[in-house]
């Protein structure tokens, strides 16, 4: 993980306002990194930052917008995690709202844990992560070796 991080931002509908506020509050730190957002979250974050900094050209290479989560953005994010293209995730999910794509959400959380990608699911954890001294330096996470699982004999 390089000193400039690839940070995934995901927020459910009732948490999008929280995500936008968090990004605005932390823009000075976040501006040194690349943001990868699921669709609607990315659109709202980008609009808020254009209002805040007044230059959409500054954001040109800073924000990548995937599909909306329920339309495949969660799977796109999962693939990026597997490919080592995500350094950490801020995922403000709504624990009080049943979601039609709950299976996709669980898959993203599972794959993040499997690949040892730090993930914040609330503002407090996101604040701790972004203020960590590791935020602006190179970091090599330890990836668990799953070769015994892959090489196991199956009795089929």
Q: Region of 114 please: left (phi>0), alpha (psi -120 to 50) or beta.
A: alpha
Please give the chain's pLDDT, 156 residues, in tens.
668 899 999 998 899 999 999 999 999 999 999 999 999 999 999 999 888 887 666 676 789 999 998 889 999 999 999 999 999 999 998 888 776 667 888 899 999 999 999 999 999 999 999 999 999 888 888 888 888 888 888 888
For residue 98, the SS3 value is coil
Tell me, yes or no, if 151 is annotated catalytic. no
Superfamily for the 6-150 domain: Methylglyoxal synthase-like domain (3.40.50.1380)
For the entire predicted model, the pTM comes to 0.89
Which entry of 74, 87, 127, 145 is annotated as an active-site residue? Answer: 74
Rounded Cα gap, residues 41 and 46, in angstroms: 8
Contact 13, 99 (CB under 8 A): no
């Amino acid at each position: 993980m390089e000193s400039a991080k690839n940070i995934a931002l995901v927020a459910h509908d009732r948490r999008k306002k929280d995500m936008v506020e968090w990004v605005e509050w932390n823009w000075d730190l976040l501006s040194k990194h690349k943001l990868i957002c699921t669709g609607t979250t990315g659109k709202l974050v980008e609009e808020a930052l254009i209002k805040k900094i007044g230059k959409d050209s500054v954001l040109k290479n800073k924000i990548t917008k995937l599909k909306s989560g329920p339309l495949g953005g969660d799977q796109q994010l999962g693939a990026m995690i597997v490919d080592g293209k995500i350094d950490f995730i801020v995922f403000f999910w709504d624990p009080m709202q049943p979601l039609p794509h709950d299976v996709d959400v669980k898959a993203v959380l599972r794959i993040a844990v499997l690949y040892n990608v730090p993930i914040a699911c609330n503002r407090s954890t996101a604040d701790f992560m972004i203020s960590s001294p590791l935020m602006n330096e190179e970091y090599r996470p330890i990836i668990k070796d799953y070769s015994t699982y892959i090489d196991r004999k199956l009795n089929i």
